[in-house]
Amino acid sequence: MDKNSFSTKVLIIGGGPGGRISYMALRMMGEDNVKIVMNEEPTIICSLPYGVGRKLVPQGPEALVVDLSKGERMPKDMPKDIVHGVVKELDIASKKAYAEEADGQIEISFEKLILATGAVPWIPPVSGVLREGTSSVTSEGKDTWVMYGNELVEKSRLAPNVYVIRGADDARRLDKFASRGKSVVVVGSGAIGLEMTEALHDRGLQVHIVEVLPHLSVALDADMASLIEKRALERGVKAYIGVSVTDVTPEGVVLSDGSTIKADGVLFATGVRPNVALAKACGLKMERGIVVDSHMRTSHPDVYAVGDVVQVVDAPTGRAILPLIGTLAMRQGLVAASNITGMPAELPPVTIWGVSSYFDLHWTSVGWSEEAANKAGIPVKTIVLPVRTRDNAMPLGKNGYWKVVISKEKTPGLKEGQIIGFQAVIEGDPVINLSERFLDIITAKESISEILRHYFAHCPSQNAVDDPYLALFFNYQTTLASKSRPRPI
């Protein structure tokens, strides 16, 4: 590479899962003239909470940093194609990007571009989150960002007791904090907030979790989430529900009801926003995220975008949604790379999901929850089924619940009785296979009357004899017949 300028056929901006898989796919499909701009160490982001918790990853977050020079999955010569820096300016008319490296500015000309700039943690604009003035800003967290309200700010501006979790450096900071801190406030109880509650609890901290919604776990409805709340209390996690943080102080936080929580650190797990700054500045079509077609092409024919920065079409409803799922970012990278190399590929509409566990309570939420559907004006009814993992006589058996969300009346784009959401909370038994089953059912826009297409295999040592698909169908039919509500939890 020339010191101050060079040309490349394909330029990728962003070295997260979307960017890295785009790079790998291009190279494996024979395109060797590719460069990737990376501002952060590549990391297995999804495992970072486990790196901090150290129960599943005893070596800590360092073990999750990917060494691209070892080339286990990536082409061995990948390091020669990496520009370690940040693209500060992009001109898609002249097809030039301007990146800042340690040594200065570099001008990169490209023929095709893949934007994989991901998402950044979002923090509500409450006082005390940012350091006072600019003189105390550290170099740690420079050129990585959070969205503070509507403002994109460098992480180096976060107050010393404020944490987020997105990259390796965030996890390292939290890991260090966990060895010296005694108490923490986790703000937000989505999957990441809950995983971090458990991780920091495992490290011996007193954890306080604050959730502005009326219950913990935004992906689940209140009835299913009550099991999560019960588990939090059983494990000594203190939950503050229906209140928000209004102020961060060096001693902890102030809540919207006027009360205070004393804590050594405050972790914001309050969601993410697509990092659209570059795309916006160069005029690409934007709605909730960058608008792309099924080929991952943006409004500019030579610019593709993949991962958390784009919006996609929701399979069950046809609405625009933000995917925010790593495995999807990787698929999109493959699709973009295929199209660039002249091997057409398309990404069909998608269903989003969450799967995790919380102190051995395994949960999943696929598609739409009842609460999300109500908020979006989609009329739904629900069926809640108690399930047992083994026959009653078997002490190994554990209890749990399934909840299915079904479209009620004819809503434009939806079938009557269409399954649009699935949730499960089950003690001790992973729910990932169930999650995948319902991902397929929901993506195929199947209605409840089609559920008996799906088989249930039984073996007493593996599961209970009750066929949950039969139970769902039966419950639906009897509900229709009696017009009564299904049994609540």
Ligand X SMILES: Cc1cc2nc3c(=O)[nH]c(=O)nc-3n(C[C@H](O)[C@H](O)[C@H](O)COP(=O)(O)OP(=O)(O)OC[C@H]3O[C@@H](n4cnc5c(N)ncnc54)[C@H](O)[C@@H]3O)c2cc1C
Site residues for ligand X per CB under 6 A = 13-19, 37, 39-40, 45-46, 48-49, 86-87, 116-119, 144, 165-166, 192, 275, 278, 307-308, 324-327, 329
Output 12 or 384, the one with its CB closest to ligand X: 12
Output 105 or 449, the one with its CB closest to ligand X: 105
Could you tell me if 317 and 420 are in contact, meaning their C-beta atoms sit under 8 angstroms apart? yes
Per the structure block, which two tokens stand in for 347?
């990404």
Pairing of strands 5-13, 34-38: parallel
Could you tell me if 98 and 105 are in contact, meaning their C-beta atoms sit under 8 angstroms apart? yes
Output 129 or 312, the one with its CB closest to ligand X: 312
Residue 226, helix vs strand vs coil:
helix
Token pair 């039919």 in the structure block, residue: 477
Output 42 or 468, the one with its CB closest to ligand X: 42
Alpha-carbon distance 224 to 384, whole Å?
A: 9
CB of 182 to ligand X, least distance (A): 23
Q: Shortest CA distance to 90 belongs to which of 66, 63, 65, 109?
A: 109
CB of 76 to ligand X, least distance (A): 22
Alpha-carbon distance 441 to 404, whole Å?
A: 11
The DSSP symbol for 289 reads: S
CB of 309 to ligand X, least distance (A): 6
Output 275 or 418, the one with its CB closest to ligand X: 275
Residues 6+ apart with CB under 8 A from 340: 10, 26, 31, 112, 114, 304
Could you tell me if 100 and 154 are in contact, meaning their C-beta atoms sit under 8 angstroms apart? no
Output 89 or 467, the one with its CB closest to ligand X: 89
Per the structure block, which two tokens stand in for 200?
């920091």
Alpha-carbon distance 344 to 337, whole Å?
A: 9
CB of 58 to ligand X, least distance (A): 18
CB of 298 to ligand X, least distance (A): 14
CB of 399 to ligand X, least distance (A): 25
